[in-house]
Amino acid sequence: MVYRTAHYVLKNKDDALLAAQQALIEIYKTIHFYKETENFTMWIQRKVTTSCMEIRKPIKST
């Protein structure tokens, strides 16, 4: 589900793999913030989408 969501958003295999990896690390680090009243699938998809947006962010030149 994590990779599939990332690939859907990014439309690129390599970027999707990177986003999925980053999302899984973030999920592991923040699982204690998950509230049981939230939908777990939606919580994970939010994390994946956030990772995708970070990868898509243009790099600012200095």
Range 25-32, long-range pairs (CB < 8 A, 24+ positions): 26/50, 26/51
pLDDT on residue 56: 87
What was the pLDDT predicted at 62? 56
* Regions of the chain short of the pLDDT cut 70: 58-62
The confidence score (pLDDT) of residue 36 equals 87
pLDDT at 28: 96
From the list 3, 9, 45, 42, the residue with the least C-alpha distance to 21 is 3
pTM (whole model) above 0.95 = no
Residue 47 near residue 26 (C-beta atoms within 8 A) = yes
